[in-house]
Amino acid sequence: MNGKLLIVDDHKQVLKALIQLLEPEFESVTGISNPNQIISYINNEEYDVILLDMNFSAGVNTGNEGIYWLGRILKSDPLAVVVMITAYSDVNLAVRAIKEGATDFVVKPWDNNKLIASLQAAFKLRQSKIENKKLRNRQKQINRAIIKQDCPLIGKSKAMENVFQVIKKVARTDANVLVIGENGTGKELIVKEIHNISCRADEAFVSVDIGTITDTLFESEMFGHIKGAFTDAKEDKTGWFETASGGTLFLDEIGNLSLTMQSKILTAIQNRIIFKVGSKAAIPFDIRLICATNKNLPEMVSKNLFREDLYYRINTIVIEIPPLRDRGEDIILLAEHFLKEYANKYEKYYLKFSSKTLDQLMKYTWPGNVRELRHTIEKAVILCDSDILKPEDFIISHSAQQSYVRPKSRTLAEIEKNALQIALDNNYGSVLKASQELGIARQTMYNKMHKYNL
C-alpha cells in the first residue's frame, strides 16, 4: 500500500516487531513509544492509519489511556483512521473503543495476516473519507455557484423590507418555514436566500417540485428505494430526504400533495426517519424544511383538502411575498436589473428605457409578477431596433396604460380573452405552447384566437 502508518506503543520490543512486519505493507512506517508525541507527529505529517496501544502505564489495563489519546487524535484530525491494539481482550473495551471513534480493535498477540488485513481495510476507509470530503467540498462549491446564478433579491419597498427582516431573523435557526405568494413573485429566490445565509449554507440545497411527482413515484422519489423493491427498481436509489440531510430541503408547491402523500410527509418529519421502499431499515435524516405554495392552505384545511397537523408542522414561520403591483418603485429597480442582464446577453450594451416606458411599466398591474416582468424585458431587448426602449417595444396588455385599481367584474368572454393573451405572451406567441399552458387543444386555441381577433 502507498499509505503512511503511525504505530504508538510503549513496549519497544513490540514496537520493533510491528515495524518489521508492516514496513513491506506501507509506503512508510513510523513508530513512537511516547504517546505525548502523537499530536506533534500528526500535526507535522499526514498519516493514513494510526495503530494505537490502549495502555501505556505499567500495571494499567483499563484502556482509558488509549481512549484518551483516541479522542485527542480525532479532535486534531476528524478524518483520522485509528486501529486500537491491546494485550487485554475485553469485549466491552472493544465496543467502547469503536463507540469513541476507533475503526477496529486488535488483540495481542496478534495474527499477522489478520492484523495486515485490518490495516488494509483501515487504509481503504481513510481513502474513502478523504474522497468523500473532496466530493462534499465540490458539491458545496456547486451549490454556491447555482444559488449565485439566480437573480439577487432586489427591493427597497416597505413590503420587501419587511420580508428581508424576517429572512434575517429566521435564517440562522432551523425553524420550518412556509413561503406563500402569487405565481412569479420569486418564492424560490427567498428560499435560496434563507439557505444561503443559514448555518447550513455549505451543505446541500435540494429543491423538489411536488407538482411534477406522481403519487405512484412519490415514496421512491422522496424516500428512495432498494433494488428489487418493484419492477423497475434495478438498483438502489437515494431519496431527496436523505440527499438533503445536513442541508435544506425545499418542497415547492406543497399544496399539490394528495392527502395520502401528506400523511407520509408528516410521518417522516415528525419521526425524523425514513424507510426506503422495500426496506425495513430506518434511516435518520437532519434537514431544514422549507415549503412554498401559491394556494390558500387554511382554506384547503377547512375543506379537508390539506391536513391541519401537517399545516402546523410546516408553518412555524410564514413569509408572504407581496405581488409586484404592491411594490412601487421596485418595479423600476427590477426592470433596470433585467435590462442590464439581457442587454449583456444579447450584446445590446447601450439600451436604456425612455421616460414614457418607465411610466408604462409602473402603471401596468403585472399579473405574472416578477416572472412576467423578466420575460417582458427580455422580449423587448430582443425585438427593439434602437438604443432606447420605447412603449411600443413592449408586448404587454392594453391595461398597462392605466394605474392599478381593484378590478371590476368582467364577463366570461373578457376573462377568457385575457387568459389567451397572457398565455401567448408568456410563450413568445407560440400557439402550441400557449394551448398546453391553458390545457386546451391547439385547434381550440386557434378557434378562440379567431373569435377574439388575437
d(CA 353, CA 335): 9
88: its cell numbers: 487485554
**DSSP SS3 for 52:** strand
**Residue where the block lists cell 388575437:** 454
User: Cell triple for residue 159?
Assistant: 413590503
The domains located in the chain, with CATH, are: 4-130 (3.40.50.2300), 154-320 (3.40.50.300), 325-397 (1.10.8.60), 408-454 (1.10.10.60)
DSSP 193-232: HHHHTSTTTTS-EEEEEGGG--HHHHHHHHHEE-TTSSTT
In sequence order, what are the beta bridge partners of 274? 283
What burial letters (b/e) apply to 146-185, b meaning 16+ CB within 10 Å? eeeeeeeebbebeebeebeebbeebbeeeebbbbbbbebb
| Grid coordinates given for 225 | 428505494
User: Under a CB-based contact definition with an 8 Å cutoff, are residues 176 and 219 in contact?
Assistant: no
pLDDT at residue number 429: 75
Residues 262-295 have pLDDT tens digits of 999 999 999 999 999 998 889 999 999 999 999 9
The pLDDT of residue 371 is: 93
- Which residues, 6 or more positions from 392, have their beta carbon under 8 angstroms from its beta carbon? none
pLDDT of residue 400: 41
Cα–Cα distance measured from residue 334 to residue 332, given in angstroms and rounded to the nearest whole number: 5
- For residue 212, CA distances in Å to 206, 220, 252, 300 come to 15, 14, 10, 20
Query: What local confidence, expressed as pLDDT, does residue 409 receive?
Result: 54
Q: Average pLDDT for consecutive 10-residue bins of the chain (454 residues)? A: 87 92 92 92 92 78 84 91 83 83 89 92 89 75 61 87 94 95 93 92 88 88 89 87 92 93 94 92 93 94 94 94 94 95 92 94 94 94 91 67 46 79 77 82 82 80
Residue 96 has phi, psi (to 5 degrees) of -60, -45
CA 98 – CA 144 distance, rounded (Å): 36
Q: What is the pLDDT of residues 384-432, one digit of tens each?
A: 888 999 998 887 654 444 433 444 556 777 778 888 888 877 776 788 8
CA–CA separation, 193 and 196 (whole Å): 5
What pLDDT is recorded for position 325?
Answer: 94
User: What was the pLDDT predicted at 403?
Assistant: 39
